[in-house]
Homo-oligomer: A and B are copies of this chain.
Amino acid sequence: MSADKPRSPRRMARMSDVARLAGVTAMTVSRALRTPEKVSPETRKRVEEAVQRSGFVLNYAARSLVSQRSQIIVALFPTVMNSVFSGTIEGLSKLLAEHGYPLLLGETDFDTETEERLLAGFIGWRPAGIVVTGSNHTVGTRAMLQNADVPVVELWGLPKKPFDVSVGFSNSDAAYEMTRSLWEWGYRRIAFLSLGYPRNSRTEERRRGYLRAVEELGLPRERGLEAKVHFGFQAGRDGLRTILQRQPDVDAIFCSSDTLAVGALTEAIRMGLRVPQDLAIAGFGDVELAAELVPSLTTVHLPRAEMGARAAEVLLERIGGSYDGRAGIASTAERRCDGGDIGACFRG
């Protein structure tokens, strides 16, 4: 199969090849495969044998062309290198695969222009449904989504006016709850360390939740209590040092992501601070490792796989008929903030 070795001249079996082998027409083969009950048992058997013998595989391009719709689901995520997203992808792809819908995956790198470019490249497959992350899209992306005229699920955010359906939770509410929890646990000087570069709407919503709680609780809100950093563990470490330098009496740091929180936590330990006695550190996202650190990280739990599965359910429902209403998956996405369940957050 090297590039210079010529491809074998025999092409793959077509439906008409199977038909010839089975002594019927292509139409009957098509029926035997799609609606076996509409074909006589003997015919069915002959077709099945012919399929086996010829190694026939249905050509989806042809099927899509004539049926005017593929079974492909397009999914655009910022990255797969983040268990928060990969967990969602896992839940999404598993349920979709069970129903015969493969996932065409694109990574936007958190960039709306990249998202548009990828979508432009994918839309030509006439997907049966589209999953995008968040609700911040370019005009071009919106136009394509509109034009595609298929179910679109926006994941993660809960926009006031979703494009089509939205599955997710409120970042703002979750951050609000976490801030309140820290207050309930006795912390009074709560800093907020967040991802500032690149900016993203999720982080900003979390910040809004933090600020809302701080205001309500009458907590201090000096400038030094907030720090914005880049992405990564190292950024978390740097952020911790920045905040401690500016506000030595801070007693809790709420980080806008677990990555930052893990960096901050390990740095705090390196500096000899006792966590959470001297300083509490909270994250957002509930990555697996959060529970593994010693001490373990307090964090906002995200129902990753559940959201992916729920997105798949919504798509399957809307694409129509074939979906059987599988049980066992909550009809709402929820978030948990350190043990306390918070209300349902799905809306369509």
Contact = CB atoms under 8 A, between A and B. Distances in A.
A104 interface: yes
A26 interface: no
Interface stretch (A89-97, A213-221, A331-339): A89-97
A87 B93 contact: no
A28 interface: no
B106 A102 contact: yes
Contact of A102 (B57, B122, B292, B293): B122
A12 B80 contact: no
Given A147-B12, A266-B293, A266-B294, A317 B83 contact: no
B125 A3 contact: no
A94 B123 contact: no
Contacts of A124: 57-60, 63
A7 interface: yes
A55 interface: yes
A328 interface: no
Contacts of A277: none
Interface in A128-166: 143-144, 147, 149-152, 164
A233 interface: yes
B269 A294 contact: yes
A97 B87 CA distance: 22
A261 B103 CA distance: 32
A98 to B, nearest CB: 10
A46 to B, nearest CB: 21
Interface stretch (A64-72, A174-182, A191-199, A238-246): A64-72
- Number of this chain's copies in the assembly equals 2
A262 B121 CA distance: 40
Nearest to A71: B121
A35 interface: no
Given A100-B121, A106-B97, A151 B1 contact: yes
A79 interface: yes
B90 A149 contact: no
Contacts of A122: 102
A40 interface: no
13 contacts: A1-B149, A11-B68, A57-B120, A57-B124, A57-B147, A59-B65, A59-B126, A97-B106, A102-B105, A102-B106, A104-B105, A266-B292, A266-B293
Given A57-B147, A81-B86, A266-B292, 9 more contacts: A1-B149, A1-B164, A1-B318, A61-B62, A83-B83, A103-B105, A103-B106, A104-B105, A269-B294
